[in-house]
Structure 1
């Protein structure tokens, strides 16, 4: 089974998560973790593409877990983290991981964050090695098992 088959299976399972479970993720730490992770993955290939930004906003607007947040707030937080990568990639990564560590103790939030970040990584049609490594960095920082994500 190829890595993309495993990843596809993981994404299909994640999509089947119940709405009642997703409603638990309506806090600012979770929002920051998600947008920080999205910025980290999007910046991993050296370019935060429009498709990655559009996918993130679309996911948040359509997610029961995140649509409680105003789109303007989501964009503002994403731009905050993205600007760290523009200033210096290592500083951007450190700031993003710092924000994500606030959800480390909550396995459900951490898994949902990684799921969304994986979706961002494949948003431009190419989930490249750098983006996959960024996702690995995220799940390692959050204390999640790599076998759960097939990457």
Structure 2
């Protein structure tokens, strides 16, 4: 239970940090990188079951920072990125990491994308090793040290 409490507190802190920067997080690159991150975390184990897809889509729709963008646009991008991962996971992952890497020149956006990945990964109460691994790879794509996020 202590691990779950720590994860919950960590994601609540990250969500608060995201909210503090909400007005800075309005670029198209941030939108695309966020949806790529959500898709990567949802498909971290190489597949996406319908329940996981629905849970992630629901989190996207209710995340206050992501409400800077039209919900239908986010859903379309998320579905498109998931499609790339389900068609060819390895190739799709490379493309999504490139999309995520585009925010690397803006530290606030880069950190926010990583935080969104952690929030999505921990939403079910268990941030598993495959989810942590894709978030670590995303850290490298944006030039951040995974240790900054305890990864």
Asked if 2 retains the 8 angstrom alpha-carbon contact of 1:35 and 1:81, the reply is yes
Answer yes or no: is 1:97 the counterpart of 2:136.
no
Q: Where does structure 2 lack aligned partners over 5 or more consecutive residues?
A: none
What is the CA–CA distance in structure 2 between the aligned matches of 1:145 and 1:18, rounded to whole Å? 18
Moved more, 4-13 or 90-99: 4-13
Runs of 4+ in 1 over 6 A off after TM superposition: 2-6
- TM-score under structure 1 normalisation? 0.84
5 Å-filtered alignment, 1:54-69, equals 54-69=54-69
Q: TM-score, length-normalised on structure 2? A: 0.84
Q: Which piece of structure 1 moves more, 63-72 or 95-104?
A: 63-72
Larger helix share, 1 or 2: 2
Q: 1:110 to 1:4 in 2, by over 3 A?
A: farther
Count, aligned residues:
150
Q: How far did 1:48 drift?
A: 2.3
Query: CA offset at residue 105 of structure 1?
Result: 0.7
* SS of alignment partner, residue 17 of structure 2: coil
What SS class does the counterpart of residue 23 from structure 1 fall into? helix
Give the drift of 1:107: 0.8
- Answer whether contact 2:14 2:115 (CA < 8 A) is retained: yes
Kept in 2, the 8 Å contact 1:29–1:103? The answer is: yes
1:18–1:120 Cα change, 3 Å: closer
Deviation for aligned residue 1:35: 0.5
Which residue of structure 1 aligns with residue 71 of structure 2?
A: 71
Is residue 2:109 matched to residue 1:109? yes
Deviates more, 1:104-113 or 1:20-29: 20-29
RMSD: 2.4
- Taking a change above 3 Å as real, the CA distance of residues 120 and 63 of structure 1, as seen in their structure-2 partners, is closer
1:128 aligns with 2:128: yes
CA distance in 1, matches of 2:55, 2:26: 19
What runs of 5+ residues in structure 1 fail to find an aligned partner?
A: none
Distance 2:16 2:3 in 1: 20
